[in-house]
Chain A
Amino acid sequence: MSMISNLMDGVVFVDGDGNVALLNTAAEALLGVKSFMVVGRPLTELSDQGDLLDGVLHDIQGLSDERPSMNRVIEVLHTEQDLLYVRARCARITDCQGKSSGVYCTLQDVTADYKTDQLKNQYLSIVAHELRTPLTGIKTFSTMLVKQALGPLSEQQMRVMESIREQSLRLEHQIDKLINLGHLESEDRYGQDLERFEIHELVTTSLAAFPAVAAEHGIQFHVELSEQDGLIEGDRADLRRAIQAIVENAIKFTPEGGKVEVRVTDVDADHVRFSIRDTGSGIDPRYQRRIFEKFFQVEDPLTRHHGGAGLGLFFARGIIEAHGSELTVESELGKGAHFCFVLPIADRTTNETRAVDATPVETA
Chain B
Amino acid sequence: MERTVLIVEDEKLIIVSTQMVLEAAGFRVESAVNGEDGIAKAKGIRPALILLDIMMPGIDGWETLTRLKRDPETSDIPVIIFTAREHVRGHQKSTEMGAADYFRKPFEPDELIELVEKHCGQEV
List the B side residues contacting A168 at CB < 8 Å.
106
Is B86 among interface residues, defined by CB-CB distance under 8 A? yes
The reply to whether B105 and A132 form a contact with Cβ atoms under 8 Å apart is: yes
The reply to whether B11 and A205 form a contact with Cβ atoms under 8 Å apart is: no
* Stretch in B35-43, B59-67, B69-77, B87-95 with 4+ CB within 8 Å of A: B87-95
Instruction: State the interface size on chain A (CB cutoff 8 A).
Output: 34
The reply to whether A194 and B106 form a contact with Cβ atoms under 8 Å apart is: no
The reply to whether A136 and B89 form a contact with Cβ atoms under 8 Å apart is: no
By secondary structure, the A interface counts as helix
Give B53 Cβ to nearest chain A Cβ, in Å.
Answer: 10
> How many residue pairs, one in A and one in B, have C-beta atoms under 8 Å apart?
78
CA distance A139 to B21 in the complex (A): 11
CA distance A141 to B107 in the complex (A): 11
Q: Mark A141-184, 1 if CB is under 8 A from B, else 0.
A: 10110010110000000000000000010001000000100100
Within 229-257 of A, Cβ neighbours of B (below 8 Å) are at 236-237
The reply to whether A143 and B84 form a contact with Cβ atoms under 8 Å apart is: no
The one of B16, B86, B90, B109 that contacts A179, using a Cβ cutoff of 8 Å: B86
The reply to whether A137 and B17 form a contact with Cβ atoms under 8 Å apart is: yes
The one of B21, B95, B108 that contacts A208, using a Cβ cutoff of 8 Å: B108
Give A145 Cβ to nearest chain B Cβ, in Å.
Answer: 10
List the B side residues contacting A139 at CB < 8 Å.
106-108
CA distance A189 to B86 in the complex (A): 12
CA distance A214 to B89 in the complex (A): 32
Is B2 among interface residues, defined by CB-CB distance under 8 A? no
Is B85 among interface residues, defined by CB-CB distance under 8 A? yes
Q: Which residue of B lies closest to A124 (CB)?
A: B86
Is A357 among interface residues, defined by CB-CB distance under 8 A? no
The reply to whether B92 and A141 form a contact with Cβ atoms under 8 Å apart is: no
The one of A128, A132, A137, A193 that contacts B90, using a Cβ cutoff of 8 Å: A193
The reply to whether B91 and A136 form a contact with Cβ atoms under 8 Å apart is: no
CA distance A128 to B92 in the complex (A): 21
The reply to whether A137 and B14 form a contact with Cβ atoms under 8 Å apart is: yes
The reply to whether B105 and A133 form a contact with Cβ atoms under 8 Å apart is: yes
Within 30-54 of B, Cβ neighbours of A (below 8 Å) are at none
With A129-B55, A136-B14 as known contacts, state yes or no: A143 contacts B92, CB within 8 Å: no
Instruction: State the interface size on chain B (CB cutoff 8 A).
Output: 26
The reply to whether A144 and B88 form a contact with Cβ atoms under 8 Å apart is: no
The reply to whether B84 and A132 form a contact with Cβ atoms under 8 Å apart is: yes
Is A301 among interface residues, defined by CB-CB distance under 8 A? no
Is A140 among interface residues, defined by CB-CB distance under 8 A? yes
Is B104 among interface residues, defined by CB-CB distance under 8 A? yes
Q: Mark A199-237, 1 if CB is under 8 A from B, else 0.
A: 000000100100000000000000000000000000011
The reply to whether A144 and B20 form a contact with Cβ atoms under 8 Å apart is: yes
Is B1 among interface residues, defined by CB-CB distance under 8 A? no
With A132-B84, A141-B17 as known contacts, state yes or no: A193 contacts B106, CB within 8 Å: no
Which of A129, A135, A194, A208 has the most B CB atoms < 10 Å from its CB?
A129
The one of A143, A149, A193, A205 that contacts B89, using a Cβ cutoff of 8 Å: A193
The reply to whether B105 and A141 form a contact with Cβ atoms under 8 Å apart is: no
List the B side residues contacting A140 at CB < 8 Å.
17-18, 20-21, 106-107, 109
The reply to whether B84 and A128 form a contact with Cβ atoms under 8 Å apart is: yes
Is B123 among interface residues, defined by CB-CB distance under 8 A? no
Is A324 among interface residues, defined by CB-CB distance under 8 A? no
CA distance A141 to B16 in the complex (A): 10
Binding site for B on A (CB under 8 A): 121, 124-126, 128-129, 132-141, 143-144, 147, 149-150, 168, 172, 179, 182, 189, 192-195, 205, 208, 236-237
Contacts A140-B20, A193-B88, A193-B91 known; list 14 others, CB within 8 Å.
Answer: A124-B86, A132-B85, A133-B11, A133-B14, A133-B105, A136-B84, A137-B13, A139-B108, A140-B18, A140-B107, A144-B109, A149-B24, A168-B106, A195-B91
3 A-B pairs closest in CB distance: A140-B17, A132-B84, A136-B106
A–B complex contacts, Cβ < 8 Å, 23 sampled:
A124-B86, A128-B84, A128-B85, A129-B85, A132-B85, A133-B105, A136-B84, A136-B107, A137-B16, A139-B107, A140-B18, A140-B20, A140-B106, A143-B108, A144-B109, A179-B86, A182-B86, A189-B88, A194-B91, A194-B92, A205-B108, A205-B111, A237-B104
